[in-house]
Structure 1
Amino acid sequence: MIKLVVTDLDGTLLNDQHEVPERFWDIANRLFKKGIKLGIATGRPHFSITENFPPLMAHVYAISDNGSFIMYDKKEILSKPLPQEEIMGLVKTARGIDNTYPVLCGKDYWFLESEEKVLIEKVLIYQKNIRIVKDLTKVDDPILKMSVLDLNGADQNSYLHYTQFADRLKVALGGALWVDVTRLDANKGEAVQMLQQLNNIGPDETLVFGDFMNDYEMMRAAKYSYAMKNAYPKIIEVANFVTEKDNNEGGVLDVIEALCLR
């Protein structure tokens, strides 16, 4: 019996226009009525979850910034900011790569040091609370995640520059154009395991969905791990199952109905 459902957003629950499927609201309420816990695990900030799911925020585990921050019913359950001493190196590395822009992701704001139109447009998809600063290395706020927008394609460009940090930080592809860096102990898999412990739920009672490399650890935290039909190949490899439909066809919702609501 499934007791916990956790889904990624972009490329997974949301369609390519970053919209919540209309069917989701009824399905979520049916899950709650059955006592099944629901979590949203995303690289987006907490604000983006509250903005998109306001009717459900008293009932949903909001796992943001790739597992660095968890809120439930206005209560902070977990916060794992990056070590301050690492931020300078992360930012300077991005500055040295062509067509890339570093972004520091705090609890309330995302910090940028460029006002380039393409950067602002890409960031506003995920976070509307932004601040432009002269120097990201001078930001004092706790930083949950450092992201790099790579207009040349993250996989074969900026990601390779960040492998030098992989012995002490979690470096993951957050999408085709994004590299995400968090603490080693901050990822979606660790977040799912925390929810399992809090609710006395096992991996064999957990259903998760993801599509990209920031979902990798989450795929290993559940027996019912589903890669999206449209997922990155390495996620399909590590997942136990693959959805029959992609994110534009409600693939997540079909699986939830089949496994949890019949």
Structure 2
Amino acid sequence: MSIRLVVTDIDGTFFDDQHHYDVDRFNEQYQEMHRQGIHFAVASGNDLIHLHDVFEAKSPLQTFVAENGANIVDGQKPIAQSLIKPAILEPLIDRLESDPLFEGAHIHLSGKQGAYARKDDPSIHSELVRYYIPKMMAVDDLRDVSDDIYKLNLGFDQGEVMAEAKKINRLFGQHVFATPSGFGSIDVIPKGVNKAYGIDQLQQHWDLTPDEIMAFGDNFNDLEMLQHVKHGYVMKNAPQAMHQFDLPVTPLDNNESGVLDMLDRLLVGQLPL
């Protein structure tokens, strides 16, 4: 069965470590995918504003699974949106701000109108945070935010955050799911929502099956997506823990344009194997 949809994570996957990709090479591939009837989508934990910012001047992408599946769009058409209920959000923030395990964590809310952080959170002045969250609004208290919220993100100075994610899931797992998303971050999204859910929405939108989908990712927030499709590839540069799931690995890493290499193989009929 031929591939009709390619889905890729961006950071650590489609982008190199400097957040770049070979624009001219990919744009030629994108045109050829369109000619062959293959859809292309970006699946990311980032918000839609950021995804539009990083692609709109470079490549004419239309389809985004943003917020780890909580906000899915095809062009101007919303496909699906999932929100964290306010009744869950307030006690979750209470716990995160009071529990010693989360001391020092930077808490950001991602909503329809933009992102939010406390005024006294030093991360709002970080160049990296401003790159990922171009529309950041500082507030006195996160509980007072009235926007619809897709995701809560926790940022830590340390890289290993599995214990923190597990505790959130133990305490609030009936309503939300916490997943490490790389670089010391945890994304907290509505229960049942992940990148695989996002792909499932695109399957219904385009009448596809998992056998017709190829996906690429490098971290735990990509895992459900890679396991959901028949052709799910872990990046060569992925953390070692991501290589325990018996998924195929790309020959090249993100700094070697590993996804573009796989697209070249797909478009000349060398893939899927």
SS in structure 1 at match of 2:132: coil
Cα distance in 2 for partners of 1:125, 1:154 equals 22
Tell me by how many angstroms 1:93 deviates: 2.6
Change (3 A) 1:111 1:141: same
Give the TM-score, by structure 1 length.
Answer: 0.93
Q: 1:20 to 1:57 in 2, by over 3 A?
A: closer
1:81 partner amino acid: L
The question of whether the paired residues in 2 share the 8 Å contact of 1:104 and 1:112 is answered with yes
So what's the TM-score if we normalise by structure 2?
A: 0.89
Corresponding letter in the other structure for 1:255: M
Distance 1:258 1:57, change over 3 A: closer
Instruction: Identify the residue that residue 69 of structure 2 maps to in structure 1.
Output: 67
Give the CA RMSD over aligned residues.
1.9
Q: What amino acid sits opposite 2:111 in the alignment?
A: G
Gaps of 5+ in 1: none
Q: Do structure 1's residue 189 and structure 2's residue 196 form an aligned pair?
A: yes
CA contact (8 A) 1:57 1:72 kept: no
Percent identity, please.
Answer: 28
- Aligned twin of 1:108: 113
- Asked whether 1:144 is paired with 2:145, we answer no
1:246 to 253, 258, 269: 253
Q: Which amino acid aligns with 2:18?
A: Q
TM-fit CA distance, 1:146: 0.4
Point out where structure 2 has 5 or more consecutive residues left out of the alignment: none
Q: 1:227-262, CA deviations, whole angstroms, 9 ceiling, x for partnerless residues?
A: 001113343333631011111111111111112344
Task: Tell me if the contact between 1:47 and 1:108 (Cα under 8 Å) persists in the aligned partners.
Answer: no
Contact 1:2 1:260 in 2 (8 A): no
Counterpart contact for 2:113–2:147, Cα < 8 Å: no
Structure 2 match to 1:20: 21
* Aligned twin of 2:45: 43
- Give the 5 Å matches for 1:1-262: 1-22=2-23, 23-54=25-56, 60-96=62-98, 97-121=102-126, 122-156=128-162, 158-163=164-169, 164-238=171-245, 240-262=247-269
Higher mean C-alpha deviation, range 63-72 or range 164-173: 164-173
Relative to structure 1, the CA distance from residue 261 to residue 241 in structure 2 (aligned partners, 3 Å threshold; closer, same or farther) is: same
Q: CA deviation at 1:201?
A: 1.4
Aligned residue pairs total 262
Residue 181 of structure 2: SS of its match in structure 1? strand
